[in-house]
Amino acid sequence: MAKKTGVPEKPTNKPVKESAPATFSLCVPSTIISSCNARNLEQVTNVAYQVAKAASTFQVAEIVVIDIPPKRTEAVAAAVRLEGNTGNTKVKFGPDESDPVPQSAAKQSALRDSEDLDSNGLLFATLLQYFVAPPYLTKAVFRQSKYNKKFKYAEKLPKLSNLPFMNNNRVGDHFREGLTTPKHTPKVQKRGKKTSVTKLKVTKYVNIGKETPLELEGKEVPVNVRVTVDLKNKKIVSPKVAYGDSGSKSTFGYYVRLAKLITAVFTELSFPQGYSDSIFINANDYFTNGPDTSLAAASTVTRGNVLLVVGKLDDFLRSFSRETIEGVSDLTDMFDSELKIPAGMRVEDAVMVGLAKLQ
């Protein structure tokens, strides 16, 4: 039943938070969870959580994970042969080359549990999405994801307290995150044929983590869409109305996308007006033997949509070499400036430091 006209809306709490004048987008390479940085699923999860926490703290609107092709190099295993009663035995050593590691543990490190790494970029992006999904929606949101069994460590980590729907601040009394869902799927019986199922494309029902879905008043909305619901008036509102701020594509928290090429970072962006600045932060370069960018020094950002690209320059060069960009002869031509941080810092640490320095 449509909502009666002329009926005044019930009052709701007004948010105290306001949108920042500058909006940040973050780009990190898939090598952030390479075997050099993360040896198993637990470490991969912790890296993703650290990036998610920094992004939610500094109100990052968008995170882009760029898929970096692997290097064609062979890893040389450190091993010695020891004489024993049963003949030669191969013994593997840990990363510090000091203490022997049991064969089973060495295999686990080499294969990284052989359970989670068919695609570094897609796995990392999925974990980032998991951390901004309310706990009561994770099963519904990731039900069809091939990574829905990779959250065994993520579900044990603390919720991101900077997200208003993740803490006990009474926001849930007025607004709640939900997932639109069909009430039922009608079956259509055709003469002489088997019963066919008609999938509904619009709905008035929202899964808000309660025993029964919330029925909206007014127009129907598309199915399987993340929304913010005004519980008092039973209608969908923007995150800005509910929380005082919104990210890319009218989401709260950050929006995640996966880029296969370096050009996709700049051409498939979520902001129609584009990026106002692109700032590079060289990270994960332990020996600082990469090429000098000769870029201008970045300063504090006060406005605009700013893209922050964090990672090792060599990794981005591998992606850049996969395509030809008209009018761009060097990767650094795609950046406006560079923010200097202490050399050798890991990407996930550089994200927090970079965002803090630019505020």
Domain that holds residue 102: 79-113
Global pTM?
Answer: 0.77
pLDDT for position 277: 92
Judge if 159 and 300 occupy the same domain: yes
Mean pLDDT of 191-217: 77
Mean pLDDT of 61-72: 87
Q: Where does the pLDDT of residue 165 fall: very low under 50, low under 70, confident under 90, or very high at 90 and above?
A: confident
Secondary structure in 3-state letters for the chain: CCCCCCCCCCCCCCCCCCCCCEEEEEEEEHHHHCCCCCCCHHHHHHHHHHHHHHHHHCCEEEEEEECCCCCCCCCCCCEEEECCCCCCEEEEECCCCCCEECHHHHHHHHHHHHCCCCCHHHHHHHHHHHHCCCHHHHHHHCCCCCCCCCCCCHHHCCCCCCCHHHCCCCHHHCEEEEEECCCCCCEECCCCCCCEECCCCEECEEECCCCCCEECCCCCEECCCEEEEECCCCEEECHHHHHCCCCHHHCCCCEEEEECCHHHHHHCCCCCCCCCEEEEEECCCCCCCCCCCCCEECCCCCCEEEEEEEECHHHHHHHHCCCCCCCCCCHHHHCCEECCCCCCCCHHHHHHHHHHHHC
pLDDT for position 143: 83
Instruction: Return the higher-pLDDT residue of 13 and 142.
Output: 142
The pLDDT tens digits for 230-271 are: 888 888 888 778 777 655 544 568 999 999 999 999 988 878
Judge if 102 and 123 occupy the same domain: no
Is the predicted pLDDT of residue 5 greater than 80, yes or no?
no
Is the predicted pLDDT of residue 26 greater than 90, yes or no?
yes
Is the predicted pLDDT of residue 47 greater than 80, yes or no?
yes
Q: Which of 90-94, 204-208, 285-289, 343-347 has the lowest mean pLDDT?
A: 90-94
Q: Which of 40-54, 160-174, 192-206, 304-318 has the highest mean pLDDT?
A: 40-54
Q: How many domains does the chain have?
A: 2
Judge if 37 and 107 occupy the same domain: no
Judge if 138 and 287 occupy the same domain: yes
Judge if 85 and 128 occupy the same domain: no
pLDDT for position 84: 41
φ, ψ at 264 (rounded to 5°): -65, -25
Judge if 90 and 51 occupy the same domain: no
CA distance 67 to 79: 32
Q: Which of 30-39, 73-82, 167-176, 324-333 has the lowest mean pLDDT?
A: 73-82
pLDDT for position 240: 77
Residue 341 lies in a domain: yes
Judge if 143 and 292 occupy the same domain: yes
Instruction: Return the higher-pLDDT residue of 24 and 189.
Output: 24
Is the predicted pLDDT of residue 175 greater than 70, yes or no?
yes
Q: Which of 74-88, 240-254, 273-287, 303-317 has the lowest mean pLDDT?
A: 74-88
Residue 308 lies in a domain: yes
Residue percentage of the chain with pLDDT more than 90: 31
Instruction: Return the higher-pLDDT residue of 177 and 92.
Output: 177
CATH of the domain at 68: 3.40.1280.10
Is the predicted pLDDT of residue 65 greater than 70, yes or no?
yes
Residue 14 lies in a domain: no
Mean pLDDT of 277-304: 80
Judge if 93 and 39 occupy the same domain: no
**Which is nearest to 292 in space by CA: 278, 307, 279, 282?**
282
Residue 346 lies in a domain: yes
Is the predicted pLDDT of residue 345 greater than 70, yes or no?
yes
Judge if 265 and 346 occupy the same domain: yes
Judge if 279 and 138 occupy the same domain: yes
Residue 260 lies in a domain: yes
Is the predicted pLDDT of residue 105 greater than 80, yes or no?
no
Judge if 296 and 331 occupy the same domain: yes
Residue 92 lies in a domain: yes
Residue 154 lies in a domain: yes
Mean pLDDT of 46-57: 96
Residue 248 lies in a domain: yes
Mean pLDDT of the chain: 78
Judge if 61 and 102 occupy the same domain: no
